[in-house]
Structure 1
Amino acid sequence: MKSLTLLVLTHIFLLAFASSAQGYAYDFFYFVQQWPGSYCDTSSGCCYPTYGKPPSDFGIHGLWPNYNNGSYPANCDPNNPFAISQIQDLVSSLQTNWPSLSCPSSDSSSFWQHEWDKHGTCSETVLNQHGYFQAALNLKSKTGLLSCLKSAGISPNGGSYTLTNVKAAIKTCIGHTPYVECNKDASSRYQLYQVYTCVDHSGTTLIDCPVFPTSGACPTSFIFPSF
């Protein structure tokens, strides 16, 4: 009887522990990159960072832990806030590859703070703060989206391209089908906005997406604006 009671109590404890830790668990990451031209030419416009106009390249939006059912954790640990001192050696690279285009102009650190506090803290059992930002920088280098698209004749020149060709070009380079998100410019034309690729639990290896986002779906063709 004592053994049975102990077994039941152990089971209850494990369930309680799993429940308390659920906010920190995740199945995979979305690695999201955005095209700055499509961010800036909407009716809302944009503001360049205080350190200057970003390169004409995809910029990092975020590295977001997700569940296989399409939901995601957020704001998992208010006791582990963003501290730029922990990523001081990455700041120069982050300014180039992860710039903020929101207004008013900033040094982009508020953007990084938001991403860490909302998303990064939910991966902290695997990636500490420095590891989180380093993983995102590594993934940007690994995916090379702009070069990938240009090699398939898809350039940010204001021309129109098909969703099929854009996805195929990226899959050729990275080996996995991406999710492509569109927004609308000031003239209400659909344009290439963000590209989602999926990454394993460690934040290092690209994988097939267990589930795709449902927002911002693109039509069969859209423009790729300049920046």
Structure 2
Amino acid sequence: MLLLSLLLLGLPDITTTQEGHMKDYKYGYQGSELYDKKPFCSWTCLLFTLQWPGGFCQSLNEETLCTIPESIDTWTIHGLWPLRVLSCCNCWPMFLSDVQELQVELTERWPSLVKTKSSFHFWRDEWHRHGACAACVEGMNSPLRYFQICLRLRGQFDVYRLLEDAGITPSCERPYKVAEVHSVLALFLGDKHEIQCVTDDQGREVWFQVKIPLSRNLTLGCDHHGDAGSDPGWSLSPGHPCPPQVPFYYYPIDHQHPQQPCG
């Protein structure tokens, strides 16, 4: 009996431990200094990536896959991706309840544009592939905080308005050059942002994405050059840098015919 009592005294308080884990899960890891030492925390730059629905649909091979909700008429979030990360920790699952309070805004700002994937599955995939690595930073160390930051960045970078104010609007007839668009966006997105295109079925370059490099503290202009090759968020993207000497199109959004907005 004495031996059993001594053993019990040496055991941790199971209830307290479980409560601690639940607190970490809901509000973020408290022992961030340990989390930072993991291999997937070695990154120094992130890419905040916005996609243009009118161009995104051109990146899909099957015409019937693309869908643009009627409420979507502007740039949407593709993701926030730490660079130089081969894989993230798969130890942190995500549930809809984690972002329940953000669901309305996420649906508007970060919708799935693919019929076979719900918006929640899109968010969950982004969390598992990228968010769990971003969680090395205290301000993003839970699904809720990560998606809050992404929504805040989307509000900060209103690409549509910036372009519209400069007379750059979606068009089936008027192509644009990288230099003129870059000069407009550089004032607000930093000089290191990248304008990405896809090639449509007529061989035209079509703008579908812009990537904005950020440092760990979310300031503009992190030098990510040389990091792209080892980053899944970069290398698996269907786009490519828009050719500097070839004009590209900024297709309008067509909700009824998302992959054929210009007929």
TM-score band (shorter)?
A: 0.7 to 0.9
Distance 2:52 2:77 in 1: 9
User: Across the two proteins, how many residue pairs are aligned to each other?
Assistant: 202
Deviation at 1:132, TM superposition (A): 0.8
1:32 corresponds to 2:58: no
| Partner SS for 1:139 | helix
User: Is the contact between residue 92 and residue 132 of structure 2 (CA under 8 Å) also seen in structure 1?
Assistant: yes
| TM-score between both structures, scaled by the size of structure 1 | 0.80
Distance 1:209 1:149, change over 3 A: farther
1:183 pairs, out of 198, 206, 215, with 198
Distance 1:53 1:191 in 2: 22
1:87 corresponds to 2:99: yes
AA in 2 matched with 1:207: G
CA-based RMSD of the aligned residues comes to 2.3
Larger radius of gyration: 2
Distance 1:163 1:199 in 2: 21
Task: Tell me which residue corresponds to 2:62.
Answer: 44
AA in 2 matched with 1:162: K
Distance 1:188 1:35 in 2: 19
Matches within 5 A, 1:199-210: 199-202=214-217, 204-210=218-224
| TM-score between both structures, scaled by the size of structure 2 | 0.70
Deviation at 1:207, TM superposition (A): 2.5
| Partner SS for 2:241 | coil
1:196 pairs, out of 190, 204, 211, with 211
Distance 1:54 1:200 in 2: 32
Task: Tell me which residue corresponds to 1:165.
Answer: 180
Distance 1:84 1:18 in 2: 24
Task: Tell me which residue corresponds to 1:130.
Answer: 144
User: Is the contact between residue 55 and residue 207 of structure 2 (CA under 8 Å) also seen in structure 1?
Assistant: yes
1:63 pairs, out of 66, 80, 94, with 80
Distance 2:86 2:153 in 1: 21
User: Is the contact between residue 189 and residue 212 of structure 2 (CA under 8 Å) also seen in structure 1?
Assistant: no
Task: Tell me which residue corresponds to 2:132.
Answer: 121
AA in 1 matched with 2:185: I
Name stretches of at least 5 consecutive residues in structure 2 with no aligned partner: 1-33, 230-238, 254-263
Q: Percent identity?
A: 27
* Higher deviation after alignment, 164-173 or 37-46: 37-46
Name stretches of at least 5 consecutive residues in structure 1 with no aligned partner: 1-16
Q: Deviating runs (4+, > 4 A) in structure 1?
A: 17-20, 212-215
Distance 2:148 2:192 in 1: 24
